[in-house]
Chains A and B, each alone.
Chain A
């Protein structure tokens, strides 16, 4: 075998390996990033704890993590709040990841109560918003928008979180009190952010 033939074989081998490796890596990435587009959120209009109007159009262009809470809640909410606050710090440098907590107890949770609660959670910018609306709107958005049960509010509200992409489309649900589920959520947030780039 001459030197040239060997060189050609070597180059061919490298090309075959590269193509093969590319296909395998791509397949692995795709297999991990199976985030189905579940449903698009309907048009809604709530108010943030800062007093601004907030609707579907405000979710566009951002990755949103949504949960349902109320400030007097002693059960799962403190745990969920802790998890949400951890994510809030983790994604500090990402200006397109936002956290949204919707109160299921609008009668008690006035905007000023929500503001105090936000302060207590260490919220310092608009990357974490607390949303308020009359109870009927909350039930409607929870059930018809997020497809999450909203019976006997506020006591038995859902502990599920929803991941909503930049097109206001739900991409996944996670157990807000479940650490393993939160870990999965983290990787999915990163995935959506990278997809947006």
Chain B
């Protein structure tokens, strides 16, 4: 169980890195760096020069840097996909009695396979907003499942862990709601991002702050929900803090980090309007959002176990 738990943790971290790279592909505009899928310009390794392009492809379409950014995303995606598949097989073979581990691990592996195929739809849809959003949503669900598996493995292994809620049911429920709202907020943000792209084509010379403020409903929903989410996270944080005597180090750290991350998200969101929607901050905005979703899940699982010391 111990080595399984380690492997699950490594897989989860790798998935988080992949989410970061995926965001990077989006903001660097490399989403269509390879116009085809699964090959890149008809090759398994992207061309390094125009001479290597197949004759039916317009050389003007080829951008060496963008093709390689997209290709690295696919490579990492493949590695993570294999890791998750291995995790699921391991769970099925060695840990069959632990349903709480095997089921989410297998579901994660299936969703990952779907995610790989869905990646091809992202390309063929020319980065259509809804399709990109589904890609992001699937990533959040997969990483949440992996975190769940990792934690369940941890508690199954830890003999001191007793399955009894430390915290009142309301805390567990509000952590679940935080997770859900976090996911919805990411979906809204992804939609917002696509709408911004449309605006930047229509009004190319406005500043990013002006684009954001030009957006209607989606933007208001994202901003309002964002503020509410931060407030709600702090309220939930305080109600958990009451039970700090029974905290494990993991609880303390994940609670603190969750509050830091969500507050930082609010600041980043404001910076987009006031300063500039720089691509670098956008990547972190999405990545921190996925961390927030993960951390709420970690806390959620913890709220259902007690470690007797």
Residues in chain A within 8 A of chain B (CB atoms): 3, 6, 17-18, 21-22, 24-25, 27-32, 90-91, 93-94, 97, 186-187, 189-190, 193
Contact of A32 among B63, B202, B283 (CB under 8 A): B63
Structural contact, A18 and B284, CB atoms closer than 8 A: yes
Structural contact, B24 and A21, CB atoms closer than 8 A: yes
Contact of A21 among B203, B253, B283 (CB under 8 A): B283
Structural contact, B69 and A21, CB atoms closer than 8 A: no
Q: With A and B bound together, what is the CA distance between A18 and B23 in angstroms? A: 12
Structural contact, B280 and A17, CB atoms closer than 8 A: no
CB distance from B213 to the nearest CB of A (A): 15
B168 contacts A by Cβ under 8 Å? no
B249 contacts A by Cβ under 8 Å? yes
B279 contacts A by Cβ under 8 Å? yes
B113 contacts A by Cβ under 8 Å? no
CB distance from B287 to the nearest CB of A (A): 8
Structural contact, B65 and A31, CB atoms closer than 8 A: yes
Using a Cβ–Cβ cut-off of 8 Å, how many residues does chain B contribute to the interface with A?
A: 24
Contacts beyond the supplied A17-B287, A28-B28, A93-B206: 20 A-B pairs with Cβ under 8 Å: A17-B20, A18-B280, A21-B280, A21-B283, A22-B280, A24-B24, A24-B28, A25-B283, A27-B28, A28-B65, A28-B69, A30-B65, A31-B63, A31-B64, A31-B66, A90-B204, A91-B204, A97-B205, A190-B204, A193-B205
**A-B complex: 3 closest residue pairs judged by Cβ atoms:** A31-B65, A28-B28, A190-B204
What chain B residues lie within 8 Å of A30 (beta carbons)?
65
Structural contact, B29 and A28, CB atoms closer than 8 A: yes
Contact of B205 among A18, A32, A93 (CB under 8 A): A93
Binary interface profile of B, 2-30, with partner A (CB < 8 Å = 1, else 0)?
00000000000000000010001001111
Closest to A97 in B: B205
Contact of A190 among B20, B66, B205 (CB under 8 A): B205
Contact of A94 among B20, B205, B253 (CB under 8 A): B205
What chain A residues lie within 8 Å of B30 (beta carbons)?
28
What chain A residues lie within 8 Å of B279 (beta carbons)?
25
Structural contact, A24 and B204, CB atoms closer than 8 A: no
What chain A residues lie within 8 Å of B65 (beta carbons)?
27-28, 30-31
What chain B residues lie within 8 Å of A189 (beta carbons)?
204
